[in-house]
Amino acid sequence: MGFLGKGLFQGMAVTARNFVGSYFDKERMVTVQYPEERVQVPENSRTFPFLVFDNTADHMRCVGCKICEEECPPQCIYIVMDRDENGKPLQRPKVFDIDISVCMQCQICVEVCPFEAIKMDNNYEKSQYDRFDDLVERLPDLLKSNEYYNHIKPAEASAVDAKLKAEADKKAKKAAPAKAAPKPAAPKPAAAPAPVAGRLVIPEDAPFTPEQRAWLAGFLSSAGAVAGPATAPVESAAVELPAVEEAAPDTEAAPAVDTPWHDPGLAMPQRMDLAKERPLADKLMAAMAQTDCHACGYDCRGYADAIAGGAESDLSLCLPGEGETAGMLEQLMKEAGKV
């Protein structure tokens, strides 16, 4: 049976019960003397992102791949990758800013990071006097230790630690037999086909760098001409299409526009299957993680082309692809007689 003001009396009864009860039961004490006392926030509460480092700040997990920058919905992350004097990426950020006046605390940056490098903090004391520059958190402000992460989110952080340890153990296991086993002899590169009269050749004194010459050779072979040393003059400007079996090995063909394997959701065997009939540069691209994250200093296409053209010799730069990509790149280069 209701009566006028019943809800008011019920509310007052709850207040009175908590007021009296708080003298006897700590759980009923819903307020604390802030800032002297602070309420312990739940583990899954979140405020703004921070960057995790292991041991010392030099060992930050972030490789500056910019995936989080690209995926952040309000675009409040700004990253510049650190590079050495030759312009080679050092796989760490030089600049990493987050504008927390724009951040909407969605945690998408955390979800997309392949390196467990960015996590959500639960520190809510972020007020500043200047509402512009002071609300942009810079790299030194963002870096926090793994111990801190374990302290604020023990369950989540220990699961991440276990995952990283399992990955490291797996990598070490894979590397151990590879180190012990003697290196198999690299297959000899196939001899270049002799130039055939009537087909286009690249004269030896043509003003090309080795990379340009290699690219041009691949392009001509994919266009149907045979490229080789200038043992015969160019007989005709027109390119004759040779029979398929006479074509030079198709290794450095011009980049294909159609790249159906360019999907990070596809597993390595699927990607390699899609690229199996393609030139070497495409196969190399299919071996990449397909994230276009620039951790290697290129996008996936650029890194593959640089390896195929001889401009890049380091096969271990694809960080999201890890050992799987490095192993496949090495295998492809061996099969092509390039290592």
Q: Which residues bind ligand SF4 (CB under 6 A)?
A: 49, 62-68, 72-74, 76-77, 79, 98, 103-109, 113, 115, 117-118
Structure tokens, 169: 């153990």
Q: Which is nearer to ligand SF4, 77 or 286 (CB)?
A: 77
Peptide bond into 35 cis (omega under 30): yes
- The span from the CA of 78 to the CA of 111, in Å, is 17
Q: 3-state DSSP: the chain helix, strand, coil percent, rounded to 5?
A: 40, 10, 55
Q: How far is the CB of 19 from ligand SF4 (least distance, A)?
A: 39
Q: Which is nearer to ligand SF4, 251 or 325 (CB)?
A: 325
Q: How far is the CB of 54 from ligand SF4 (least distance, A)?
A: 13
- The span from the CA of 160 to the CA of 216, in Å, is 48
Complete DSSP assignment for 47-74 = -SEEEEESSSGGGBS-----HHHHH-TT
Q: How far is the CB of 92 from ligand SF4 (least distance, A)?
A: 9
Q: Which is nearer to ligand SF4, 63 or 307 (CB)?
A: 63
Q: Which is nearer to ligand SF4, 103 or 201 (CB)?
A: 103
Q: Which residues contact 137 (CB under 8 A, 6 or more apart)?
A: 48, 97, 98, 99, 100
Q: Which residues contact 154 (CB under 8 A, 6 or more apart)?
A: 43
Q: How far is the CB of 95 from ligand SF4 (least distance, A)?
A: 11
Structure tokens, 44: 């899954």
Q: Which is nearer to ligand SF4, 79 or 226 (CB)?
A: 79
Q: Which is nearer to ligand SF4, 81 or 274 (CB)?
A: 81
Structure tokens, 334: 């061996």
Q: How far is the CB of 39 from ligand SF4 (least distance, A)?
A: 23
Query: How many C-beta atoms surround the C-beta of residue 315 within 10 A?
Result: 20
Complete DSSP assignment for 247-279 = SPP--SPPPPS--TT--TTS-HHHHHHHTTTS-
Q: Which is nearer to ligand SF4, 106 or 143 (CB)?
A: 106
Q: How far is the CB of 91 from ligand SF4 (least distance, A)?
A: 9
Complete DSSP assignment for 301-326 = HHHHHHHHTTS---S---TTTHHHHH
Q: How far is the CB of 77 from ligand SF4 (least distance, A)?
A: 5
